Amino acid sequence: MVGGGFGGLQAVRHLKRSPAAVTLIDRRNFHLFQPLLYQVATGALSPGEIAAPLRGVLKRQGNATVVLAEVQGIDLDRRVVRTRAVGGGRESEVGYDTLIVAAGARHSYFGNDEWARVAPGLKSLEDALELRRRILTAFEAAEVEPDPDVQRALLTFVVVGAGPTGVELAGQIAEIARDTVRRDFRHIDPTTARIVLVEGAARVLTAFPESLSAKAERQLAALGVTVRDSRLVTDVDADGVTLSPAGDGDGGSERLDARTVVWAAGVAASPLATALAEGSGAALDRAGRITVEPDLTLPGHPEVFALGDMVRVSDGAGGQIPLPGVAPAAMQQGRYAAKVIRARLAGTEPPSRFTYTDKGNLATIGRMKAVGEIRGAKLSGTLAWLGWLFIHLFYLTGLQNRLLVFIRWTVSFLTRGRGARLITGGAEDPVASPASAEAEVHRS
């Protein structure tokens, strides 16, 4: 098993009562609940509240072994996974009878990888902490900036991509400015901060019905978020972004001066998808996702399953099964792969194809603001927000984390505060800066 995300962890857990010996390989020692990463990025939650150590999660599963290592390659002919121990340690090979690869996805800048330095995305805890540092530092820098133009740029936040992550981030940044820190500063008015949400499509949340997209946009506007739809980003630098009309859109290019830019516009599959394709001849799409059979196996290699954000699933007739890149899809795939493996071990007929059950979509925008569609029922406002809270608490890994997050959310709701509003890491951190440390030595 490669990958301890939603799909991988579900597969391991559903093999608990099987005779299989399961080895889980991951380069991180924890399972991360990615849907709540944006709350770490905006100071609402702490990292440990949305992550659970893999060894702790699986400590009572006697047939599961956790290996902390980076996968270097997969030899399909010899049936081995080549690994290197984390921290540049020894290389080794792990043999397998059946392999599940659930390595996830990474950021995609559509061929402009140089933008990553000034427009970080949100896929890891490190990303979330870096975004938190940049967002909070922008207010601090504006407080001591005498030039009004520079101050205005410091208080302009651009979020690129209006999917659920982008919408949730934009809403949370707006709440920080207009609620959390509005009385904390003496020389600036945080409520004047400008939050711009940029989307290449004609509306936000394109995976949702148009009526819910419209409601989401109205809720964003109520928070003070400006939506710039039908706009493509053509350049990003340290001083801001340049936008151009998408397709046949009206208007010319537009420049937004902003010191904080967040990228939530695209993803690309893990490089392991390319490695599997090279070894099997399977097709890759533009996002680097590998095409697997209807039963999630690699073409020509029924012993290898691939699932999650790194795959697209063939329908067996030359097309693909449409699957959203969300946690429930990966979890269902993980459970399905485990079911097939259990059937093979028992000598019974396994299910012939994976079937996705769409349980709906939810996106939160702010305090008592959300939209959702659950089994055809369209929800918005407080009801959707409560549904979002309950579902995320239910799926969060670990009872302790559920309790901590519930308490944190309750306190935040009552006090309108954010308990993890800390600036850490980066060159601006006095603790991390060698120059600052040297100056401290001289002062002492």
* Residues designated catalytic: 168
Q: Which residues have a Cβ under 8 Å from the Cβ of 346 and sit 6 or more positions away?
A: none
Q: Which residues contact 111 (CB under 8 A, 6 or more apart)?
A: none
Nearest one of 365, 367, 364 to 415, comparing CA atoms: 367
Torsions phi, psi of 199, nearest 5? -140, 135
Contact 368, 412 (CB under 8 A): no
**Which tokens is 4 given?**
């301890």
The set of residues, in sequence order, having a beta carbon less than 8 Å from that of 284 and lying 6+ positions away, is 269, 273, 274, 277, 290, 291
Residue 325 amino acid letter: G
Beta strands at 194-198 and 51-53: parallel, antiparallel or unpaired: unpaired
Q: Angle formed by the axes of helices 210-223 and 164-175, to 10°? A: 20
The Cα 332–Cα 13 span in angstroms is 12
User: Which residues neighbour 161 within 8 Å (Cβ) at sequence distance 6 or greater?
Assistant: 198, 199, 263, 264, 265, 266
Which of 239-248 are b and which e, b meaning 16 or more Cβ less than 10 Å from the residue's Cβ? ebbebeeeee
Task: Name the burial class of residue 150, with classes exposed (0-12), middle (13-18) and buried (19+) by CB atoms within 10 angstroms of its CB.
Answer: middle
Contact 441, 158 (CB under 8 A): no
| Interatomic CA distance for residues 139 and 227, integer angstroms | 22
Q: Check: CB of residue 236 under 8 Å from CB of residue 115.
A: yes
What Cα–Cα distance (Å) separates residue 229 from each residue in 50, 182, 260, 287, 401? 31, 28, 19, 22, 37
Closest CA to 141 of 426, 418, 443: 426
Among the residues of 234-326, which ranges form H helices?
271-280
